[in-house]
Structure 1
Amino acid sequence: MLIAQVTDLHLQADPAHPNLARLVRVLEHLLSLQARPDLLVLSGDLADDGAPESYRHLQAALARWPGPVRLALGNHDSRAHFLDVFGAAHADGGFVQGRTALDGLQVIVLDSLEEGRHGGAFCEARAQWLCQVVQDSAGAPLLVFLHHPPVDVGLPWIDPGPRQAWIARLDAALQGANLAGICSGHVHLGGVFSWFGRRVATCPSSSSDLSLAFAPMGATQPDGRPLVEQGEPAFALHRWDGSGLASIFGRCPQRVLAHWTAATQPMVAAMLDEKSTPPGCA
């Protein structure tokens, strides 16, 4: 089973803003894949301005997606405006959260938005909801999506830092879960991190990248370092084989350099044949 993750769309009310065209490129690329993803998860900062028009642009763009879609909210989103457009089907207990059973895997979407705050949040009500989900799962594997990663990634202005109560609450709610992984956005970069022995994967953004500047920062001492840059629109693919999760980070290609044709057949056939032929030193 293949799950596509797109994050940090940062759509704006103006339909001419380039982030909408970048999202459409990602969706078209994902639909062209062989094989096509079974599920699409958008993991927050769907809108940059939280405007109802931004969510309507997203709704129209998603109309071309033929399969199921799950959505999470990020710090740039408006929960009320999102629900006005997408409706209560994406909500449970007053938050944009839910679970979907897919091929033996429970896909859980969490709401880490606290409006007015850049960083994450996970209140007691959300923690109780997740505790119930873990209990009801009866040991089935869980794959969790949320916007904010509960772990430092090395970028000082993005990292949540230690002693965040919401992270401790999330940790406690996941105790006893058969966790396949945690997939987040917010960082605009692809990476894999360890959090109390759990695997956390951050997804690259369809809109922009954060710059790789790991040096410490002083809040009152701007040093001119780059913060945000832009490459081709990006996404993640998470492949579940029934026993484990593999994650690949991809970008929309500028051009394809090789195809599976008669010209590449000898090389590809040899590589496929090697799967059944052990090396001489085996």
Structure 2
Amino acid sequence: MIIAQMTDIHIGFDREARPEELNRQRFRAVLNRLLKQPNVPDMLICSGDITDRGDAESFARTAELLVDLPFPVHVMVGNHDSRDGLLTAFPHTLRGDDGFLHAAFERDGLLVVLLDTLEPGRHGGAFCDKRRDWLRGVLEANRGTPTVIFMHHPPVVSGIQWMDPRADEAWITNLASALEGMGQVQAIHCGHLHRQLAASFCGIPVSVTPSVAPLVSLDLRPISPDVPDSRALITTEPPSYALHHWDGARLVTHYETVSDWQVLAYYGPHLQPMIREMEREKT
């Protein structure tokens, strides 16, 4: 099974742009690549910040590009989104009975958990007691099932200070308590940071998929809210997406940036001896 992930699309950042805003152009480019690359996804997860302002028009403009995809699409909420706007544009969104847009479903022996980390009016993450208890209940009921968790906000400190939470924030503590002793969780995949990241949380691998929208600059120096030092914050690095490959026993993640490139080698008869030799070594 292949799970594609896109994150931080931010449609509506520049709604007046003509003929089409940059973020929508980047979104089209990633969708086109996803459909043309050789690995057919079984589903697409859009892990939050679908829009930049949570408005109905931006959600609708996103939905129209996703409606005809040949695989299911699961849309999650990020801090720039609104739950009502998302549900209007994507009425079949999975949700809990408590008003949060979280869900869990099994596919090919893998439990996929989608978390809601939105607190309206707050840039950073949220994970209240209700969400903690919901997640704990799901994991308790599925201890024997390999699990992957998707959430918008990474529960780790990246070193990009202006984007980071504090390590001791209450929502992170709540998440940790829900995950305690849950060894079936194989990975946590996030967005929000607008850069690729690999870390761990509660002994679980944590990865951040880079954004579709422009990326956050990689600058690990301390930043002062009192001293605007002219550092780069946002760059035009190419958009990215992830493919999470589940083979029934192992979960592996691949990332691809979307830009123009040339193929330097094709698998033809001239390279067949090399492929044969590499496969022979595995026997």
TM-score normalised to structure 2 length: 0.92
Checking the alignment, whether the CA contact within 8 Å between 1:23 and 1:206 is kept in structure 2 is yes
**CA distance change for structure 1 residues 260 and 147 in 2, over 3 Å: closer, same or farther?**
same
Matched with 1:182 is 188
Q: 1:2 aligns to what?
A: 2
CA distance in 2, matches of 1:84, 1:130: 25
Shift of 1:76: 0.6
RMSD: 1.8
Structure 1 outlier segments of 4+, above 4 Å: none
Equivalent residue for 2:245?
A: 239
**Aligned positions of 1:123-272 closer than 5 A:** 123-177=128-182, 178-258=184-264, 260=266, 262=268, 265-267=269-271, 269-272=273-276
Amino acid at match of 1:4: A
* 1:81-117 Cα distance to aligned partner (Å, 9 max, x none): 1112212643212111111211100111000011111
* Distance change >3 Å, CA 31–CA 259, structure 1 → 2: farther
Gaps of 5+ in 1: none
Name the stretch that deviates more: 242-251 or 83-92: 83-92
The code of the aligned residue for 1:214 comes to L
Alignment match of 1:52 (pick from 56, 59, 65): 56
Shift of 1:142: 1.0
**Does the Cα contact within 8 Å between 2:7 and 2:50 map onto a contact in 1?**
yes
Return the letter of the residue paired with 2:244: H
Give yes or no for the alignment of 1:37 onto 2:11. no
Aligned residues: 277
Q: CA deviation at 1:127?
A: 1.1
Secondary structure in 2 matching 1:90: coil
Cα deviation for residue 269 of structure 1 reads 4.4
**Are residue 62 (structure 1) and residue 62 (structure 2) matched?**
no
Change (3 A) 1:268 1:171: farther
Contact 1:193 1:201 in 2 (8 A): yes
Verify the 8 A CA contact 2:23 2:213 in the aligned structure 1: yes
Residues 268/84 of structure 1: CA separation in 2 closer, same or farther (3 Å cut): same
Whole-Å Cα distance in 1 between the matches of residues 125 and 204 of structure 2? 18
Deviations 1:107-138 (A, max 9, x none): 11000011111100001111111111112213
Q: CA shift at 1:243, angstroms?
A: 2.3
SS at 1:82's partner residue? helix
Q: CA deviation at 1:37?
A: 1.2
**Match of 2:203, as an amino acid?**
G
Distance 1:272 1:118 in 2: 52
**Letter of the structure 1 residue corresponding to residue 207 of structure 2:** A
Distance, in Å, in 1 between the alignment partners of 2:10 and 2:95 is 21
The residue identity in structure 1 corresponding to 2:41 is P
